[in-house]
Amino acid sequence: MSTGTDTPARRPQRRLTLAASIVGAGASRKAWNWPGTTWNRFADWEHYRRSAEIARSGTLDAVFVSDHPALQRTADNGPSHLFDPIVLFSAIAGAIPDIGFVLTASTSYNSPYNLARRLASLDSIAGGRVIFNAVANFNPDIAANFLADELLDREDRYRKADEFLRVVKELWLSWDTPEGPEPTGPLWDETTARTIDHHGEFFDVRGPLNVPVGPQGHPVISQAGASAQGIDFAGKHAEIVYAALLGKQAALDYAATLDAAARRHGRPADSIRLFPGVNVYLGDTREEALRRHEVFSGAGSEDDLIARFLEQQRVLNPAFPRSVDVDRPLKAEWFEPQEDQTRPVGFSRAVQDLVRTEEPTTRQIIRLVGGAGGHRLVIGTPKEVADALIDWWAAGAVSGYNAHFPLLHDDLERFVQQVVPILRAESVFPTEYDSPTIRGRFGLPDPRTAHSTQENR
């Protein structure tokens, strides 16, 4: 979204960072029973281990697994989100070195102590390779599995999420074991294992945590909410933000918005790394890549995709008109999200920002996003895909990307074999891992230092 400035500041240049989403059988709804594949591989942990292994072979920074702790039973959805991500990544961490793990967990339907303990355990097992993607759930199917009679509104969800994060961060730093080969004092006392004695609106937690401070202090914290409350939450807590962004100028504006949110909460500018999602379709020629997108998008033609997009917008946005000329520029006011709705607002904001800055037609929007679930569509040859990824990064708009692939493992493996070498040849992506921890790779501060500084003020 626009910050009211014409020229947002460039973000400091670091190497490009990449993560791969490995949810289910792939990003396409057609992936799970694609001809020539094992139809139930989405329920086999080896499928996910192999995805992580392929990602590691290309020195990708992390693999991403979102979570939805309820069975998705709609006819047009393939099966996904079967395994608890913490359990799944605990198994993979012991089998695959180096690769990082991004996992989603709810601040609405977990207890802070239990989740802090499980995440700290995984981060210790993995040697400091965990990113915790905190979500303030709104889904009624999930709520029904957690004794929740009604959904909290967005304001209450984020107020609860804020308290949740404050508690888990205190717990993660509450027990610091002695350094050195032999302890010089007690294993724990009131100076090394501190109660947090938290008494808040939603939680009462004494502490300390019974898992010591981990290899990177504590897991890196990420977030993806694009509402006003989500942006404020990111400014206070997030070190990484995942986002749906469709235009380069919109990405520059959103990066500036996040920087401003961080500063409002006393954090330095550029405290937050921005990683938009991209849906990648590769081909030996652009025409082949376009055909692959046509097949995996589930639409028989561009007109079918346009019809699906228009129907979706009329559901999400009450101001969207019933009749639209698909070859005339869209209007930003048609995409104004409802701040009081229970649905997420990220896709509506992404389209609105693009419409405001670039004035595309409906047909042009479809060529940018296709059936990609709100994320930017990157279609083409390996060189075209690599150039598209470098473009936003070189402009200082993003730190990297969370890449989605229509079919796993095929498209991930092709990306690693054909796109990654081009990124390396352009000197924007590494040939080996440059730090054992995620914080080290992303240039993020050690929370133990920040915590000590705050205590001494």
- The pTM of this model reads 0.88
**Token representation of residue 304:** 């079918």
Q: Where are the domains of the chain?
A: 17-178+189-282+376-452, 299-370
pLDDT for 344 equals 61
pLDDT for 339 equals 56
Cα–Cα dist 54/35, whole Å: 21
Cα–Cα dist 15/13, whole Å: 7
pLDDT in tens, 273-316: 999 999 999 999 999 998 898 888 765 567 877 887 888 778 77
Left, alpha or beta for 269 (phi > 0: left; psi -120 to 50: alpha)? Answer: beta
Half-sphere exposure in the Cβ direction for 83 (13 Å, CA):
24
Residue positions forming the annotated binding site for FMN: 67, 104, 158, 227
Q: Which amino acid is at 214?
A: G
**Closest C-alpha to 13, from 428, 439, 437:** 428
Point out the residues of the chain with pLDDT beneath 50.
1-11, 372, 452-457
**Residue 312 CB burial class (10 angstroms; 0-12, 13-18, ≥19):** middle
pLDDT in tens, 20-79: 999 988 988 888 888 888 888 888 999 999 999 999 999 999 999 999 888 876 555 567
Residue positions forming the annotated binding site: 67, 104, 158, 227
Long-range contact set of residues 66-69: C-beta below 8 Å, sequence gap at least 24:
66/21, 66/23, 66/104, 66/133, 67/103, 67/104, 67/105, 67/106, 68/139, 68/142, 69/106, 69/109, 69/142, 69/145
- Name the pairing type of β-strands 204-205 and 198-199: antiparallel
CATH class of this structure's domain 17-178+189-282+376-452: alpha beta
**Residue 181 CB burial class (10 angstroms; 0-12, 13-18, ≥19):** exposed
Instruction: Answer positive or negative: Cα dihedral of 226, 227, 232, 237.
Output: negative
Beta strands in 83-181 (DSSP E): 100-106, 130-135
Token look-up 């030996």 returns 284
pLDDT for 295 equals 86
